[in-house]
Amino acid sequence: MKKLINDPQNVVAESVEGFALAHADLVTMHTDPLFVARAGGAVAGKVGLVSGGGSGHEPLHAGFVGDGMLDAAVPGAMFTSPTPDAIAPALAVADSGAGVLAIVKNYTGDVLNFETAAELAEADDITVRTVIVNDDVAVEDSLYTAGRRGVAGTVAVEKIAGAAAARGDDLDAVTAVAQKVIDNVRSMGVALTACTVPHAGKPSFDLPDDEIEIGIGIHGEPGRHRIPLAPADEITRMLLDPVAEDLGLTSGEQVLLFVNGMGGTPQSELFVVYRQARKLLEQRGVVVARSLVGNYVTSLEMQGASVTVLRLDDELTALWDAPVTTPALHW
């Protein structure tokens, strides 16, 4: 194992410290417990947004803390949910009196720990709502979930809900728009290689050089099937078709097309995937109105990609376009 680390047990703390130093104009690092919040504290009268999960998926979630997105993010250990005693203070810091929305990916540990943290926060008179992101169409259940996994669609949920909060929507309205995104976003991914968790010191699963895993999760969970390596256009079709069919896309609809890298795939290859995914959507008569390509929800150094499609309407498009200033997303 070759990694730019010191002690494997300190990777998350040292990484978050460096991240906070590099983006001190946008975020503040809290220690004991560890979480990241927007610099300057909660915005008076605005609904707070908090998310979090295991580390190793950077820039998710801390990279999306800032104006127009999250107010706080809670990183757990590598591929491990943060604990309630870290999540609850983040909920408190994000609250300015208008309540807090917790955006949680559908992994059992995340769901249970955020639920416990919400109960602790509510005991301190903080109103908390929760939405569960479950956009992965690959499998219904996995090693980590009951139901579908939450993957790259989380970025769209955080961006659009964050914009709704920034424009002054109340907690019920922000929760409703977040759920609207969840109801209209689907994803599917592929792994070309495994990744190595620092404290494990070896690849998280075995994948021969001439094979790929279709439908992989962001922790290396099994997908739909393992197949011989194929050309990019063929792989892209295997990802896009199930997503489009699950959404029930029809001719004339507008969508956001998001091609996400798993951490070890060059940008040039992600654009090869985007090119084919867009062609396949256009063949269905679907209009790609917005696009995003890059490494936003990663799995350490895994080579691979995911395709996410969000059905858009005028409201969701306007909220996606709204200004955002975070370390990882800004326009």
Which positions are annotated as active-site residues? 57, 219
Burial of 309 (0-12, 13-18, 19+ CB in 10 A): buried
Q: Note whether 81 and 29 are within 8 A (CB).
A: no
Nearest to 56 by CA among 40, 72, 77, 86: 77
Which residues, in sequence order, are bridge partners of residue 145? none
Residue 33: asked if its preceding bond is cis (omega within 30°), the reply is yes
Name the pairing type of β-strands 128-133 and 100-105: parallel
Return the exposure string of 96-117: e unless at least 16 CB atoms fall within 10 Å of the residue's CB, then b: bebbbbbbbbbbebbbebbeeb
Angle at the Cα of 309 from the Cα atoms of 239 and 256, rounded to 5 degrees = 140
The one-letter code for the residue type at 143 is: L
- Interaxial angle between packed helices 314-321 and 171-183, expressed in degrees from 0 to 180 and rounded to the nearest 10: 110
